[in-house]
Structure 1
Amino acid sequence: MTALPPVLYSFRRCPYAMRARLAIAASGIAVELREVVLRDKPAAMIQASPKATVPVLVLPDGTVIDESWDVMVWALSQADPECWWPKDRSVRSDIETLVASNDGSFKAALDRYKYPNRYENETISETQQRAIAADHLQPLDARLKRHEWLLGDRATLADYAILPFVRQFAHVDRGWFDAQPWPHLRGWLDRFLASERFASIMRKYPQWHPGDVETVFP
């Protein structure tokens, strides 16, 4: 009897879902991808994870993983052919520190910059929020001046956990972003956007409905 694959509820443009797909693709683990429309979330996803945000990974034994970072770590614990999640504890600590900064104050400022109408009671202006987010990017540019990736000459989980959010920030006002003094960060992002890896995880899929033919990813 063929084992059922894990099920991944995803949304193409969500940066959290992007990074989950990146890690799953890098691991080579096959999942059943269910593309979600956020205004019409499937009942099966909400039943699995009542917080109802993507990504949601449901393993064959019923285990639910509904945080993108945890999905990434799970995938690479199954297989990590490119060594994105090195076993060296000090390297893992560096990765976790960078990702925590991205997911914390950078993402908070990014949301308020990109979606100001969602934060009507916010006392800090949209322009100030952009400046707060930009303060997180300058140190990344300094790292990338020294080497091709955030932690050295090879990509790690830090790069692929953070790149989707830098992409989102850049696309709010790409002209402004390109005018900033971070050429190494810009090059890092542009290499990612031009890569087959990015193209492969951004293919369009129709909205999933119960009973649809299974979509295997990657």
Structure 2
Amino acid sequence: MSEALLYSFRRCPYAMRARLALRYSGVAVRIVEVSLKAKPAEMLALSPKGTVPVLSVGGQVIDESLAIMQWALAQHDPDDWLLQNEPAALALIAENDQDFKHHLNRYKYAERYPEHPMEHYRAEGEVFLQKLEILLAGRSYLLAEHLSLADVALAPFVRQFAHVDREWFASTPYIRLQTWLQRFLESPLFVAVMAKP
């Protein structure tokens, strides 16, 4: 297989989860860090929508982060991140990518959405945090006793939500979620994919 090429932006949660899956699966990939103000013509030629991540491999272009993760895991998934294609994982990721991301954007950039105060958007996003806290009641990860696709796909977004107001997040009753997020942020895998190029 020819070398894979990934157009990425280090702090983008979609790009993060693509890099995490590619690294975990052991796919050899060259990462091109993109300036969102000056997107490279080569990337736009592959994917005119102009968002990261974009993976080019063996003549194939994949420009959705979840599809990149699934492609990577199809190559090699030693710890069963796919959980035998557990449908609950895809349902949770869809809820994250649609509803939670919607509230996260408004909470993070509340000044752009003056219809409601920041706390309103935060409360809307909290509904999802509460759901995750309940999922973590009996185990250390969201859907299994080990890291899975759901954890890795959601964690970059929960991280972003937590970092809008770290003091607030630390003061919440979501103790299991805080522990889950901290474990993820300190994991060798996350540290590796966040290293500055």
TM-score, length-normalised on structure 2?
0.96
- Give the Cα separation in 1 of the matches to 2:103 and 2:135: 21
From 68, 71, 83, the equivalent of 1:71 is 68
> CA RMSD, aligned part only?
1.2
From 29, 32, 39, the equivalent of 2:30 is 32
Question: Per-residue deviation at 1:12?
Answer: 0.5
Identify unmatched segments of 5+ residues in structure 1.
206-218
- Which residue of structure 1 lines up, in the alignment, with residue 8 of structure 2? 10
Identity value in percent: 49
Q: Secondary structure at the match of 1:147?
A: coil
Contact 1:144/1:184 (<8 A) preserved: yes
Question: Per-residue deviation at 1:64?
Answer: 1.0
- Give the Cα separation in 2 of the matches to 1:201 and 1:118: 30
Aligned length: 197
Flag the 1:12–1:131 CA change in 2: closer, same or farther, 3 A: same
Mapped pair 1:97 → 2:78 = no
Residue 23 of structure 2 aligns with an amino acid whose one-letter code is A
Deviating beyond 3 angstroms after TM superposition, the runs of 4 or more aligned structure 1 residues are 117-120
Residue 116 of structure 1 aligns with an amino acid whose one-letter code is A
Question: Per-residue deviation at 1:31?
Answer: 0.9
1:1-218 aligned at under 5 Å gives the runs 4-61=2-59, 63-87=60-84, 89=85, 91=86, 93-119=87-113, 123-205=115-197
When Rg is computed on C-alpha atoms for both structures, the one with the higher figure is: 1
Residue 13 of structure 2 aligns with an amino acid whose one-letter code is P
Alpha-carbon deviations, 1:52-98, whole Å to 9, x = none?
1100001122x2110100000000011111110132x5x2x100011
Contact 1:26/1:82 (<8 A) preserved: no
- Give the Cα separation in 1 of the matches to 2:35 and 2:66: 21
TM-score, length-normalised on structure 1?
0.87
Question: Per-residue deviation at 1:119?
Answer: 3.8
- Which residue of structure 2 lines up, in the alignment, with residue 210 of structure 1? none
- Which residue of structure 2 lines up, in the alignment, with residue 213 of structure 1? none
Q: Larger relative contact order (C-alpha < 8 A, sep ≥ 6)?
A: 1
- Give the Cα separation in 1 of the matches to 2:174 and 2:6: 35
- Give the Cα separation in 1 of the matches to 2:92 and 2:183: 20
Question: Per-residue deviation at 1:4?
Answer: 2.8
Alpha-carbon deviations, 1:112-138, whole Å to 9, x = none?
111124445xx3332111100011101
